[in-house]
Amino acid sequence: MPLTVRVAGAPLRTLLSDWSKQSGVSLSADASIRDQRAFARLTNRPLRDAMRLLAAAFGYEWRVVEDESDAPPRYVLQASPQIVQ
């Protein structure tokens, strides 16, 4: 599903909540980075491209969280191990 986003200085938690609503995919940010401010302007971009661009802009990475149930996976944006060190 393509995303259209225009935000200036929104916390990652807010941005990812909006993306989740638009796409139907569960997206969130790790507690250590969820208040990081983001600027984004995307028009009709595929979700995977938007996710890749966001992670690259901050040097972060996505972690896939799969539950034991049949629920779809969740994606959590987190600081890369190289950044944490």
Residue-wise pLDDT for 21-39, tens only, equals 999 999 999 999 999 999 9
CATH number at residue 78: 3.55.50.30
pLDDT band at 85 (very low <50, low <70, confident <90, very high): very low
pLDDT digits (tens, 9 = 90+) for 26-78: 999 999 999 999 998 999 999 999 999 999 999 999 999 988 778 889 999 99
Report pLDDT for 1: 74
pLDDT band at 80 (very low <50, low <70, confident <90, very high): confident
Give the domain extent around 41.
Answer: 2-84
Report pLDDT for 75: 97
Contact 15, 34 (CB under 8 A): no
Enter the DSSP assignment of 40: E
Q: pTM score, two decimals?
A: 0.87
Strands 60-65 and 2-11: unpaired
Q: How many domains does the chain have?
A: 1
32 Cβ contact list (under 8 Å, min separation 6): 78, 79
